[in-house]
């Protein structure tokens, strides 16, 4: 690490507590908004004490359809987590992680950053819930 990177890191550390508090509020809003969804679930148990979550990962059997639907509404949902065998270096392990290869096809992420506004979260949740309500 050079001096410039170190100084940026030190500066960011001063903001860490404030940013984490924002992330907790954002996460609470999302968790509250999706709690009644039948086809969209949490990928992990989220614990709100002393969080530094940088990503909200959810699961849906209709992930790709949901991502495309959100995209049509101007919402950038994405896939951030994938099994290692999908990276070229680890291809030879593909047959050894069957559960990972199955589950990752359901994982997706919603917009999640410290400066996201309440009305933006409401907009995302509106269409996530709308999509969910149209699924069987």
pLDDT tens, 53-67?
Answer: 889 999 999 999 999
Residue 115 to residue 99: CA distance in whole angstroms: 35
* Amino acid 99: pLDDT: 85
Residue pair 67/106 in contact by the 8 Å Cβ criterion: no
Per-residue pLDDT of 6-44, as tens digits, reads: 999 999 999 988 988 899 999 999 999 999 999 999 998
110 vs 81: which has the higher pLDDT: 110
Taking alpha carbons only, the member of 42, 122, 115, 34 closest to residue 75 is: 122
With a cut of 90, say whether residue 101 has pLDDT above it. Answer: no
Residue pair 124/111 in contact by the 8 Å Cβ criterion: yes
Q: Which fold has domain 3-133?
A: 3.90.1150
Residue pair 90/100 in contact by the 8 Å Cβ criterion: no
């Amino acid at each position: 690490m050079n001096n410039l990177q170190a100084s940026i890191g030190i500066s960011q550390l001063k903001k860490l507590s404030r940013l984490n508090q924002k992330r907790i509020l954002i996460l609470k809003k999302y968790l509250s908004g999706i709690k009644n969804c039948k086809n969209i679930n949490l990928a992990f148990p989220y614990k709100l004490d002393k969080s530094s979550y940088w990503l909200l990962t959810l699961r849906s059997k209709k992930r790709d359809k949901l991502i495309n639907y959100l995209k049509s509404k101007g919402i950038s949902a994405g896939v951030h987590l994938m099994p290692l065998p999908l990276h070229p270096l680890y291809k030879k392990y593909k047959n050894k992680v069957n559960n990972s290869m199955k589950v990752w096809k359901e994982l997706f992420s919603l917009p999640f950053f410290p400066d996201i506004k309440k009305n933006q979260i409401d907009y995302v949740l509106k269409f996530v819930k709308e999509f969910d309500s149209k699924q069987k």
